[in-house]
Amino acid sequence: MQKATLFRKKPNNAVRCTACQQYCTIPEGGTGICGVRLNQEGELYLVVYGKPCSINLDPVEKKPLFHFLPGTQIFSLGTFGCNFACSFCQNWDISQATREIKVQCENAEQQKSQILSLADSFEEWEPKKIVDYCTMHKIPSIAYTYNEPAIFFEYAYDTAKLAHKNGIKNVFVSNGYESEEALKKMKGIIDAMNIDLKAFTEGFYARNCRAKLQPVLETIKLANKLGIWVEVTTLIIPGENDSDAELKSIAEFIAGVDRNIPWHVTQFHPDFKMLERPATPIATLEKAYKIGKGTGLKFVYVGNAVTERENTYCPKCGKLLVKRIGYSIDAIGMENGRCGCGEKIPGIWK
């Protein structure tokens, strides 16, 4: 365990966690909603520090990030636990592990014991080990992903800070629930974020995620304001968030923040507790693409499906700049982030 930095002490040995916008008040011996931030005698500890449960080398396009070092590998890590409870989560086996423990255990002491035991079962990857690996293998960036990185903030922060000193870039793949305190502390250290904007109604977030919409909107705006490169993803679920009105509301919000923010509209596949819904029809993804472009967004991409809507074109002259086939880059037709016509393409290209 490692002592947390983002918390405030409360009466009776309680603490208030300030890592994410759940702002959990945690009694002595308990954990927050995420299950990995533990109150031990009035101090908050991160039980998963240095203990990722998933590590991979991914193509950066898988995050998805299309305007960030295209064609490169990204060291990707995540822990167990999450501050959301999405019924359609694709990584539910790790993200919802602590919720399952809480359901199965009779009291807080049993919960604590099982959560600590689970953390101890994973190989140790301290920040220096991660940065040394990336340096040795010339991996240009690190992604804090698979589950919500805000819940393992101190681990991500220490790794990202060390990576930054060594010329390695950092990415948060996030549900958008970072606290303002966490996001501001990451300024200048986190280079890019892909933020899920899962829907545009409070009802969807309450029903399917046990969270709220408004904090996500505020995170997108703040991240953009802080100079972090932002891309937004919406998983389109039939019958849940696929109406013309909702898709238009999402696109208009993004365009209102910055028309240069890429919007990824991705295909849903049945998973976890949402097995009754069919996969998203290609026609719905095409509709979302056209709605996004119609609102003035310069870059809209279709993901999780075989389509030509993954390519990047110059918004000025229409030239094909980046040709993508799945997670592979076939060609890059620009230099130093500029099209041949002189148009600067927003993003991080080197």
pLDDT per position as a tens digit, 149-179: 999 999 999 999 999 999 999 999 999 999 9
Predicted pLDDT at 245: 98
Give the integer Cα–Cα distance in Å for 221 and 193. Answer: 12
Predicted pLDDT at 79: 98
| Average pLDDT value for residue range 108-120 | 94
Predicted pLDDT at 175: 98
> Does 206 have pLDDT greater than 80?
yes
Tokens representing 337 are 């982030």
> Does 106 have pLDDT greater than 90?
no
Predicted pLDDT at 271: 92
Give the integer Cα–Cα distance in Å for 122 and 144. Answer: 17
Q: Taking the domains of the chain in order of start, what are their residue ranges?
A: 54-90+123-332
Give the integer Cα–Cα distance in Å for 153 and 5. Answer: 9
**Among all chains, which residue has been given the structure tokens 């240069």?**
260
| Average pLDDT value for residue range 205-215 | 97
Average pLDDT, the chain: 96
Determine how β-strand 312-313 pairs with β-strand 320-325: antiparallel
> Does 331 have pLDDT greater than 80?
no
Long-range contacts of 69-72 (CB under 8 A, 24+ apart): 69/140, 69/141, 69/169, 69/348, 69/349, 69/350, 70/322, 70/329, 70/332, 70/349, 71/328, 71/329, 71/332, 72/139, 72/140, 72/141
Determine how β-strand 320-325 pairs with β-strand 25-26: unpaired
pLDDT per position as a tens digit, 27-43: 999 999 999 999 999 99
Among 195-199, 256-260, 266-270, 327-331, the minimum mean pLDDT is found in 327-331
Host H or E run for residue 2: strand 2-3
CA-to-CA dists, residue 14 to 20, 106, 112, 152, angstroms: 17, 21, 16, 20
> Does 305 have pLDDT greater than 90?
no
- Look up the CATH superfamily of 54-90+123-332: Aldolase class I (3.20.20.70)
| Average pLDDT value for residue range 208-232 | 98
Tokens representing 60 are 């950066």
> What b/e sequence results for 38-70 when a residue is b if at least 16 CB atoms lie within 10 Å of its CB, and e otherwise?
bbbeeebbbbbbbbbbbeeeebbbbbbbbbbbb
> Does 332 have pLDDT greater than 90?
no
Identify whether the C-beta of residue 88 lies closer than 8 Å to the C-beta of residue 268: yes
Predicted pLDDT at 156: 98
Identify whether the C-beta of residue 307 lies closer than 8 Å to the C-beta of residue 282: yes
Beta bridge partner(s), residue 178: 20
Predicted pLDDT at 306: 77
Give the integer Cα–Cα distance in Å for 118 and 270. Answer: 28
| Average pLDDT value for residue range 186-215 | 97
- At residue 328 the predicted structure's pLDDT band, cuts being 50, 70 and 90, is confident
